[in-house]
Amino acid sequence: MSNTALLLIDFQNDYYPSYAGAKWPLSGTEAAASNATRLLTAFRKQGLPVIHVRHEFPSSDAPFFLPESEGAKIHNSVAPLEGEPVILKHQINSFRGTGLQNILDELNVGKLVILGAMSHMCIDAVTRAAVDLGYECNVAHDACATLDLEFNGITVPASHVHHAFMAALSFGYCNVDSTDKLLDLVG
């Protein structure tokens, strides 16, 4: 596990239904964050790298994650400690236009445990990009959250959106497992 890093994606205030003023609350954010906290604690205890990613849209016209807003800040339940890298991104893919790959290379990381939000966007994008870049990936499915989506007049419940994307990732991109099973890997 010495070359494994924990990658926490977009655990930001605007995604938490319990956060007053949340602009884009997801289904299950608090439960996902609770599992994320368990993995975060284990990685810190083992002295393994932890990298936080947060999203800000470049314009104040965005529906959420407004530049320099409270909603765009990382939620205190998974707040970074001093020395833990925080990547600021402006795109869905956490590698695009950021120094994420450089940090992973500097830390000699070859494996990632990925969690966060949203399952169907940023988790999917970062996982596929990471695999394409040669990283071995594990996604903690119960430490990810998303929301209901609508397409062509049909509402797809968040749980179905989440499960469809986890099924697709596990089909050909990475290991998708529970927090408990991934904690067993960390020790």
Cis-peptide, bond into residue 118, ω within 30° of zero: yes
Quickly tell me which residue has 């236009």 as its tokens.
97
Mapped onto helix, strand or coil, the DSSP state of residue 22 is coil
Other CB atoms within a 10 A radius of the CB of residue 91 amount to: 14
d(CA 166, CA 82): 32
Residue in the structure block whose two tokens are 């450089």: 102
In the residue annotation, 23 being an active-site residue is answered as no
Residue of 45, 61, 111, 122 marked active site? 122
Question: Is 89 a known active-site residue?
Answer: yes
- The residue from 10, 14, 124, 142 that is catalytic is 10
User: Residues 14, 89, 111, 142: which is the catalytic one?
Assistant: 89
Residue 43 to residue 115: CA distance in whole angstroms? 13
Q: E strands along the chain, which residues?
A: 4-9, 50-55, 86-89, 111-117, 136-145, 149-151, 154-156, 175-177
| Residues in Cβ contact with 128 at an 8 Å cutoff, skipping those fewer than 6 apart | 169, 173
Active site residue 137: no
Among all residues, which ones are annotated catalytic? Answer: 10, 89, 122
